[in-house]
C-alpha cells in the first residue's frame, strides 16, 4: 500500500462504522468494513451505499464490505470496533481467532456496561489476550455520523494509555474535514462519551414535554456537573469534561435531532412507551443501558446523580417524565460553586 496507507478492519457496519470508514478511505487507507447482515454488505459492495444506516451517501471505492471476520482482520494494521457496547464482548470473541500478532485496537463506541461497570477499553482488556494487544485507543467526541459522511467540519479526540499509539491513530483519521485532537485522560474521555447519552435522553424528554431552551441549558450544565462529579471519582481529570468529549458531545447530542438518544427521549416525553420507542428506532440508543450503569455507579461511589436517577426512575420503574422533571426542580437547595469546587478537589481528596 505504501505512503503510510494501510489496511484497517472496521468491525461494525452501522452508522458510525460506515461514516468512519469513509473518513479512512478519504485518507487513502483501505477499509474492510465487517458486518453480519449480508444484504447490507452486498449493498455496500454493489451500490456503494449503506441504505439502512447511512442512506444517500456514496461510499468511496476504498471501502470493501465483508461478512468474513477472517478477511476483515487478516493483515490489518488496525482493528477498529464500532458496535454498540452490548455487542462488544460477543464481537471481540469472533475477532480473536484471526489475530496473529499484537495489534492496536481502536474503539469508537460510547457506553458503560451495567453490572461489571466497566468502560469499553476495560472490557477489551478483559476479552483480548494480553499478548495480542499492542495498544487500545478510544476515539470519541461530538460527531454525528450523518454530518461526518457529508464531510462537514467535525472534531474528535483520541486517547490511550500509550500516547504514541494515540498519535498514530490521530494521523490515521485526521483530515481537513475531520480534526482529531489527543487527550491522555482515557478515563475521562470514555466516561464523558458514555454519560452524555443519559443527559441527551433527558433533553429529548424535556423537548417532548414542550419545555424550552431554559430547561435544555439547565440539563446541559447540571448534567455536565453530574458527569464530572462521577467521572472524577472514577479517576478522570475534571478538565476533560470541559473538552470535546464532555461539554462538546453534550451540546451536539442534546441539541440535535440526529441524536438517537435525544430522539428516544423526545418520544418518551411525548408519552410513548420505551419498548415501542426502541423497536421503532432500530438503532443503538446507548443511553438506556448506560443509565442503569450510572445508577449502579452512583451507589458504588456514593455520588449523587439527580438527573441520571430521575431518568432511571422513568426508564426502569415506570416513572412519569413530567413528575421526574418536577422532582428535580423541587430538590433541596444547593450551592453551584460548592459543587464545582468539590469536583475540582475530589481528585486530590480521598
Ligand atoms: N451514529 C453516530 O453518529 C455515532 C455513534 N457512536 C457510537 O458508536 C457505537 C455504534 O453506534 P452506531 O453505529 O451509531 O449504531 P447503529 O445502530 O447505527 O449500528 C449498529 C451496528 O452494530 C451491529 N451490531 C449490533 N449488535 C451486533 C452483534 N451482536 N454482532 C455484530 N454486529 C452487531 C449492527 O448490525 P446489524 O444491523 O446486523 O444488527 C449495526 O451494524 C455506539 O456506541 C454509539 O454510541 C459514536 C459517535 C457517533
Ligand atoms: O455520539 C453521538 C454524537 O457524538 C451520537 O449520538 P447518538 O448515539 O445519540 O445518535
| Same domain (yes/no): 168, 222 | no
pLDDT digits (tens, 9 = 90+) for 312-345: 999 999 999 999 999 999 999 999 998 888 888 8
pTM: 0.97
pLDDT digits (tens, 9 = 90+) for 70-118: 999 999 999 999 999 999 999 999 999 999 999 999 999 999 999 999 9
- Could you tell me if 108 and 127 lie in one domain? yes
Q: Does residue 349 register a pLDDT over 80?
A: no
Measured distance CA(140)–CA(24) in Å, rounded? 15
The grid coordinates of residue 139 equal: 476515539
- Do the beta carbons of residue 17 and residue 40 sit within 8 Å? no
> What does the pLDDT read at residue 317?
96
Is ligand 1 within 6 A of the CB of residue 286?
yes
> Are both 131 and 207 inside the same structural domain?
no
Mean pLDDT, range 127-131, rounded to an integer? 98
In a domain, 1, yes or no: no
Of 7, 168, 196, 216, which one is the catalytic site residue? 196
Do 133 and 12 belong together in one domain?
yes
Closest residue to atom 6 of ligand 2, CA basis? 259
- For the CA of 198, the nearest ligand: 2
Instruction: Give yes or no for residue 15 CB within 6 A of ligand 1.
Output: yes
Residues 130 and 202 in one domain: no
Nearest CA, atom 9, ligand 1 = 109
Domain residues for 323? 193-346
Angle at 208 between CA 258 and CA 114, to 5 degrees: 70
CA of 33 to the centre of ligand 1 (A): 12
Looking at the structure, tell me whether residues 253 and 339 fall in a common domain.
yes
Contact 108, 137 (CB under 8 A): no
89 among annotated binding-site residues: no
How deeply is 55 buried, as exposed, middle or buried, from its count of CB atoms within 10 A (0-12, 13-18, 19+)?
exposed
Cα separation, 82 vs 88, in Å, equals 9
Distance 192 CA to ligand 2 centre (A): 12
Q: Could you give the number of structural domains in the chain?
A: 2
143 and 242 both lie in a single domain: no
SS3 174: coil
Inside any domain, residue 44: yes
Q: Nearest Cα to 108, choosing from 80, 128, 134, 88? A: 80
**What ligand is nearest to the CA atom of residue 84?**
1
Assess whether the C-beta atom of 67 lies below 6 angstroms from ligand 1: no
pLDDT at 308: 98
How much is the pLDDT for 2?
A: 66
Average per-residue pLDDT in the chain?
Answer: 96
**256 among annotated binding-site residues:** no
Residues 130 and 204 in one domain: no
Domain co-membership, 174 together with 278: no
Note whether ipTM > 0.95 here. Answer: yes
Q: Tell me if residue 196 is catalytic.
A: yes
Using alpha carbons, list the distances in angstroms from residue 293 to 12, 83, 306: 23, 18, 14
pLDDT at 220 over 90: yes
In this predicted structure, the answer to whether residue 346 has a pLDDT above a threshold of 80 is: no
Task: Band the pLDDT of 240: cuts 50, 70, 90.
Answer: very high
Give the tens place of pLDDT for each residue, 141-198: 999 999 999 999 999 999 999 999 999 999 999 999 999 999 999 999 999 999 999 9
2 in a structural domain: no
Taking the centre of ligand 2 as the mean of its atom positions, its distance from the CA of residue 2, in whole angstroms, is: 34
Q: Is it the case that residue 3 has pLDDT exceeding 80?
A: no
User: Is 137 near ligand 1, meaning CB less than 6 Å away?
Assistant: no
CATH number at residue 286: 1.10.1040.10
Task: Match 419545555 to its residue by C-alpha cell.
Answer: 211
d(CA 304, CA 307): 9
Does one domain contain both 160 and 27? yes
Examine the fold and report which residue of 164, 184, 204 is the final residue of a domain before the chain moves on. Answer: 184
Q: How far apart are CA 313 and CA 335, in angstroms?
A: 25
Residue at grid coordinates 444547593:
334
Ligand 2: nearest atom to the Cα of 258 = 10
Tell me which of 146, 167, 184 is where a domain ends.
184
Amino acid at each position: 500500500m505504501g505512503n503510510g496507507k494501510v489496511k484497517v478492519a472496521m468491525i461494525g457496519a452501522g452508522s458510525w462504522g460506515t461514516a468512519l470508514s469513509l473518513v479512512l478511505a478519504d485518507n487513502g487507507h483501505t477499509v474492510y468494513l465487517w458486518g453480519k447482515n449480508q444484504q447490507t454488505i452486498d449493498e455496500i459492495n454493489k451500490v456503494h451505499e449503506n441504505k439502512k444506516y447511512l442512506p444517500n451517501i456514496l461510499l468511496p471505492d476504498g471501502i470493501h464490505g465483508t461478512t468474513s471476520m477472517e478477511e476483515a482482520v487478516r493483515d490489518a494494521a488496525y482493528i477498529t470496533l464500532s458496535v454498540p457496547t452490548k455487542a462488544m464482548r460477543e464481537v471481540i470473541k469472533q475477532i480473536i481467532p484471526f489475530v496473529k500478532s499484537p495489534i492496536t485496537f481502536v474503539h469508537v463506541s460510547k457506553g458503560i456496561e451495567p453490572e461489571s461497570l466497566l468502560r469499553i477499553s476495560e472490557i477489551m482488556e478483559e476479552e483480548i489476550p494480553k499478548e495480542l494487544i499492542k495498544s487500545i485507543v478510544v476515539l470519541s467526541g461530538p460527531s454525528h455520523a450523518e454530518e461526518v459522511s457529508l464531510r462537514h467540519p467535525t472534531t474528535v479526540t483520541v486517547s490511550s494509555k500509550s500516547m504514541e499509539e494515540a498519535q498514530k491513530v490521530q494521523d490515521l483519521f485526521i483530515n481537513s474535514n475531520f480534526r482529531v485532537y489527543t487527550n491522555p485522560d482515557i478515563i475521562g474521555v470514555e466516561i464523558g462519551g458514555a454519560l452524555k447519552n443519559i443527559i441527551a435522553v433527558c433533553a429529548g424528554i424535556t423537548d417532548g414535554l414542550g419545555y424550552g431552551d431554559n430547561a435544555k441549558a439547565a440539563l446541559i450544565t447540571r448534567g455536565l456537573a453530574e458527569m464530572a462529579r462521577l467521572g472524577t471519582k472514577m479517576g478522570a481529570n475534571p478538565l476533560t469534561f470541559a473538552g470535546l468529549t464532555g461539554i462538546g458531545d453534550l451540546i451536539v447530542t442534546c441539541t440535535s435531532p440526529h441524536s438517537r438518544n435525544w430522539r428516544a427521549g423526545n418520544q418518551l416525553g411525548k408519552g410513548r412507551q420505551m419498548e415501542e420507542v426502541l423497536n421503532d428506532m432500530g438503532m443503538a440508543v446507548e443511553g438506556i443501558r448506560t443509565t442503569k450503569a450510572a445508577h449502579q455507579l452512583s451507589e458504588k461511589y456514593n455520588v449523587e446523580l439527580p438527573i441520571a436517577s430521575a431518568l432511571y426512575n422513568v426508564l426502569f420503574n415506570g416513572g412519569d417524565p413530567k413528575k421526574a422533571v418536577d422532582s428535580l426542580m423541587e430538590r433541596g437547595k444547593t450551592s453551584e460553586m460548592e459543587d464545582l469546587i468539590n469536583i475540582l478537589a475530589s481528585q486530590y481528596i480521598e
